Amino acid sequence: MHSGAVVGQNSVLVYIDGFLRRMKDRTMLSRRNFLKSSGTFLSTAALPSLSANTLLANAREPDDLVGYDATGLAGLIRSGQITQQEVVEVVARRIDALDPVLNFMTTRTFERARAKAGTIPLDSAFAGVPILMKDMIDVGGVRRTDGSWLLATNVPDKNVEYVDAVEAAGLNIIGMTNVPEFAGGFSTNNDLFGETRNPWNLEYSTMVSSGGAAAAAAAGIVPMVHGTDGAGSNRLPASVCGLFGVKPSRLRMLSGEANGGHDLTKTNQTMSRTVRDSARLMDLTEDKSGLLYPPVGFVEGPTSQRFRIGFIPDAPGIVDVSKEVAQAQKRVVRLLESLGHTVEEAQWPIDTEVFARYYPAYFATRMLPLKAMIENLTGVSVTQSKLLTGFQSSFAAKATETPAEEAERAEAYLATLPERFKALFTNFDLVLCPVMPIVGVLNSDFSPSEVYSSEIMRKRIGNLKFTGPVNFAGNPAMSVPLTWNSTDGLPIGSHFIAPLGGDRALYELAYELEQASPWGENWAPYSIKHVPI
């Protein structure tokens, strides 16, 4: 069990420090040298992507497993209707067919998955069903890049505790999914692997750092994917990709960090096509010690309890909630009321402008050790080193201008957020609000080469105003896919937040909403449902 410690700075610095020191004897640390040293670890950013017409022209036989969630696939394996090896091959074909168009993968671990297939106990919960992991967690012997040239050849020696639990649950890891560099961009796009495209509309982003994972699940590659959520990364991608995405309570889950601790804002869980898959994995990857919260266990279905739900139409500041998003949430309010829940309007407890001021000041201090590491070992400035994207290197350079007093004020302000949310739940069991104020973001709206500025950051944070504060507060939250067919062709998620430790209530409500407004047959145009493999 974990110690309960919260990591004060981004734990990836541990990897960067060790990796750079191993590379120190090289005469020049550059992206060119990283490519030369990477062996078979080749970037896909320069590879040609297939058009939709090419994809359809190369389609093969229909996939007989379309429509099964992970629990359903486990049942087929357990009953002998299909083998673990056969499921691995189906998923490998799905990846080969759709990744050239959507670009959701960073590392394929097909041979690893093939070696494990046939050895995974049939009485495990998922009995050998493949899963994709986000490229920001340690899987022993599998490359972890965090979307950066800086870690292009980084291979952790062993699993973290959370990954041990994922594998003990009977899931077979078949690859890693794309992320922005160090989760720092506002779209899943980086210099090493390129941009991930949304299966619902290729011109649109899958949003923040779990975007590669969300694209894979929305395309039906696997029914459930691993993700992390540090400011909305299991909820924003879930919203624009039509998935069920969960952020657990802070410290709820087993540690996903190499040192056994926990990041202040980041949690591990899933995005999935069904509630039951997510609920089952929650049970198998949560910390059962009960030191902080009673364990959730396996939530099997809805509750008869009727909830008092606070509805927050908007949080004034920076980016107003669009008419289409507002209408979508009002439809969800009507659905909740038809199910017997009490819904009353409430106010967002956070001043968006103040949050937007202190959010970058907090993270700027986390960039300083990284900047110092790179400059000490390369002998040039962080921007000259070319080891980070333009956005990250310019943010790191700008971080030195953040006064220490401003960083202290940021930490002090963000530390008040748990009490602000606690007060919100004095009168409500749960809260409903948008996942983000707009339906979606074009891929062209963000480039990794973009130069950081405070105004750009402020505008980006405007799209995180409903999700980011929840991470600092530590509350559990979920995005539920209840609205479809927006004018942009994207789904629109609905954001539910619970008090600290209230994860069970979210799952109970999610089951009820899934029954009342089934979403399982809503498939993206670029998915295995419509593109036979």
For 41, what's the count of Cα atoms within 13 Å in the CB-facing half-sphere?
24
Structure-token pair, residue 415: 């530390």
Determine the pLDDT at residue 412. 97
- Under 8 Å CB-to-CB from 416, ≥6 apart: which residues? none
**Model pLDDT, residue 40:** 38
What are the backbone dihedrals phi and psi of residue 450, each rounded to the nearest 5 degrees, phi first?
-55, 140
Whole-structure pTM value: 0.92
Report the sign of the C-alpha dihedral through residues 454, 459, 464, 466, in that order: positive
Instruction: Report DSSP state, residue 243.
Output: -
Question: Which DSSP string corresponds to 183-201?
Answer: G-SSSSEETTTEE--BTTB
Give the integer Cα–Cα distance in Å for 501 and 474. Answer: 9
**Phi, psi (deg, nearest 5) at residue 280:** -65, -40
- What is the reported pLDDT for 32? 43
Say how far apart CA 4 and CA 524 lie, in whole Å.
Answer: 40
Residue 322's alpha-carbon distances to 285, 306, 317, 325, 486, in angstroms, are 37, 29, 13, 5, 12
Q: Cα(274)–Cα(279) distance, rounded to whole angstroms?
A: 9
| Mean pLDDT in order along the chain per 10 residues (533 residues) | 36 53 43 41 42 52 86 98 97 96 98 98 98 98 96 96 98 98 93 97 97 98 98 98 98 96 96 98 97 95 98 96 98 98 98 96 89 92 94 93 93 97 97 98 95 93 97 98 94 98 98 98 94 76
Q: Report the alpha-carbon distance of residue 146 to residue 137 in Å, rounded.
A: 8
Domain ranges of the chain: 15-516
DSSP per position, 120-132: S-TTSSSTT-EEE
DSSP line for 250-280: TT-BPP-STTS-EESS-EEEEEESSHHHHHH
Q: Is the CATH number 3.40.462.10 carried by domain 15-516? A: no
Burial status of residue 450 (CB atoms within 10 A of its CB: 0-12, 13-18, 19 or more): buried
Q: Is 65 helix (H, G, I), strand (E, B) or coil?
A: coil
pLDDT at 185: 83
| Per-residue model confidence (pLDDT) at position 20 | 52
